[in-house]
Amino acid sequence: MKMKTLVRTRALGGSLVVTVPKEIVKEEGIRPGELVEIEVEKVRKSFFGAAKGVGPFTEEDEMKAHD
């Protein structure tokens, strides 16, 4: 079965580690010392709201056709 969740990395020595959430541990019956396969995909940050405070376009902002 394939389950998906978001986890945050943390430093441990020279490595990065992630914690498997207890819900997944329970559902999959994972025990300490078992070999598990993971798939890593970096989450892209949303820039929604990044332009907060920028006012509406004005006539000067509009692109004009070049003659």
Residues 6+ away with beta carbon under 8 Å from 19:
7
- What separation, in Å, do the N-terminal and C-terminal C-alpha atoms of the chain show? 62
- The Cβ of residue 12 has, within 10 Å, a number of other Cβ atoms equal to 8
Residues 6+ away with beta carbon under 8 Å from 9:
16, 17, 18
CA 50, 56, 60, 64 torsion-angle sign: positive
* pLDDT tens digits, 17-66: 999 999 999 999 999 999 999 888 888 877 666 666 677 767 766 666 65
Categorize the per-residue pLDDT at 16 as very low, low, confident or very high, splitting at 50, 70 and 90. Answer: very high
| 0.75 surpassed by pTM | no
Please check the confidence at residue 12 and state whether its pLDDT lies above 70: yes
User: What is the average pLDDT across 4-9?
Assistant: 88
